[in-house]
Structure 1
């Protein structure tokens, strides 16, 4: 049985994700896709702090607090609205990025199932919320909780995306079905590498649609908010630009105005792109030159509010 068909069979049979991801990582290396290989590596071993996690690994956190007042009065296990958490502590407290590897997530989901709750360390919120929730009541404790069902859902999403990846790879690259364990029969070409990378970006990150076959160029759907440099960096990184470069160009966007809608770059941005576009040629960026140019243009248009 081929490696790809073996992965599909294991998924359908409900086998554990750990060994399946190992097979997929091997398949990714044979297909020459660093983007797919990196995703599988991070899902298996965990996401480092300098790597953005996919949206399905960002879970909402709910909080309850205990408050005490005069003459022994108080409120126990009172829900704290997300609006107040964001207002007094910051929006980032309302979301928890799950960076653990898939095996650790399995343990966390099992722990949550047994205890009924998965807790988040929220001790620092006591000071941030002090005096801001109930007037004349002291905040004694805050407890953060994650949904056990959403924790388990991460596994289901990864399983579904691995299956969808193998299906789309099989459709677009029929020769992938011939890959087996053992010495490779042939090295993948650049066309095949780009196809696998594009499929991975679509299915895992959902950051842009496929390049059209009509000669009209690429169609993108970058999730970038106007004047939100963080979203620019996140989407460019997901598209295949290195984290440092994604951060650099996003800061340049924030520091200057564009010339026009037709020329959505300022002077510094144009200079930076001219110096760095070669990284799309030498493989530093996991995206081709023409696509990288279109992605950067689309990112600028959305950041400056032209789209």
Structure 2
């Protein structure tokens, strides 16, 4: 018996330890994630390691949070009007918030560690500082009325959903690792596996698909990466992904509508005639620097977007 075994360490693989813990009714996600970080280091996947680090320590302001960590915010306000009349604790429609403030107010990015999220899930009421909205909404929601206060709240259920999202994604990750990278199931505290470039790439691909969702990374000639997160058949998600990639909104919307009208038939011909004509017409705008996306990556990004929209990738 080796020294670790003598001290009570299990010889079961780290991957299977994670699965056993996740299937327990009282799964401790912080401990599960620490084990996953160890496994990620053995498998050589830096993106997976980084994600686990942010989940266990929290997301800093310069790092964008995964989609499942963006939650809705509800607002209520109090107004005073003519002749001493009052409107108290009235719901404010999200459309009004987005119109007179911005969409960022109706969604909140949860940056706390998973341990912090678990504590927030136990709260009865979660509030955010909405005092800046008083000036932005003044005279807009109820013309002629004075906005005295605005409060924003997040449902604790949203925190529970984040916990469940992390738990289910980690389980799916381990299942896919076991299928596609069999050697991952052999990793123990005392038994690492040889790191191979092919395995590292597969692990990262599995991470992108199971943890972040339907995500693709396109690399430009200068090494910069463009990330595409597109839901099959969802024009809105394709437009949003293309805008994030650097296309103007109008151009992204136009291309998305073209692809929706003539979806790719196969991987060999991912773009239809109208889409190809659109690229030929608009490519010079990217080449001139008028768009934020470079000409060297434009076609690749649009092709990937079309395939993901059509479910070919």
Matched residues in 1 for 2:237 and 2:20: separation?
46
Q: 1:230 to 1:68 in 2, by over 3 A?
A: same
Residue 44 of structure 1 aligns with which residue?
56
> Which moved further from structure 2: 164-173 or 42-51?
42-51
Aligned residues: 258
Q: Contact between 1:10 and 1:20, CA under 8 Å: does it hold in 2?
A: yes
Matches within 5 A, 1:95-174: 95-110=107-122, 112=123, 116-174=124-182
Alignment counterpart, residue 297 of structure 1, candidates 257, 278, 303:
303
Bigger relative contact order, structure 1 or 2 (CA pairs below 8 A, ≥6 apart): 1
Secondary structure in structure 2 of the residue aligned to 1:159: helix
Matched residues in 1 for 2:237 and 2:18: separation?
42
Matches within 5 A, 1:205-284: 205-208=212-215, 222=230, 231-232=241-242, 234=244, 249-250=246-247, 261-262=275-276, 264=279, 266-267=283-284, 269=286, 272=294, 274=296
Alignment counterpart, residue 78 of structure 1, candidates 62, 78, 90:
90
Q: Contact between 1:47 and 1:101, CA under 8 Å: does it hold in 2?
A: yes
Q: 1:11 to 1:228 in 2, by over 3 A?
A: closer
Query: What TM-score results when the alignment is normalised by the length of structure 1?
Result: 0.73
Residue 191 of structure 1 aligns with which residue?
198
Shift of 1:54: 1.5
Shift of 1:302: 9.7
Q: 1:85 to 1:302 in 2, by over 3 A?
A: farther
Residue 214 of structure 1 aligns with which residue?
none
Q: 1:64 to 1:104 in 2, by over 3 A?
A: same
RMSD (CA atoms): 3.3
Secondary structure in structure 1 of the residue aligned to 2:73: strand
Q: Contact between 2:97 and 2:103, CA under 8 Å: does it hold in 1?
A: yes
Shift of 1:205: 2.0
Secondary structure in structure 2 of the residue aligned to 1:5: helix
Q: Which runs of 5+ in 1 are unaligned?
A: 210-219, 235-245, 278-291
- Mark the structure with the bigger radius of gyration: 2
Query: What TM-score results when the alignment is normalised by the length of structure 2?
Result: 0.72
Give CA-to-partner distance per residue, 1:67-90, whole Å, 9 cap, x none.
Answer: 111332101100001111111111
Are residues 1:4 and 2:23 paired? no
Q: 1:82 to 1:89 in 2, by over 3 A?
A: same
Matched residues in 2 for 1:267 and 1:134: separation?
48
Q: Which runs of 5+ in 2 are unaligned?
A: 1-11, 217-227, 256-273, 289-293
Q: Contact between 1:226 and 1:302, CA under 8 Å: does it hold in 2?
A: no
Residue 288 of structure 1 aligns with which residue?
none
Q: Contact between 1:225 and 1:231, CA under 8 Å: does it hold in 2?
A: no
Give CA-to-partner distance per residue, 1:59-116, whole Å, 9 cap, x none.
Answer: 1110000111133210110000111111111122111111111111122222x2xxx2
Q: Contact between 1:227 and 1:254, CA under 8 Å: does it hold in 2?
A: no
Alignment counterpart, residue 105 of structure 2, candidates 65, 68, 93:
93
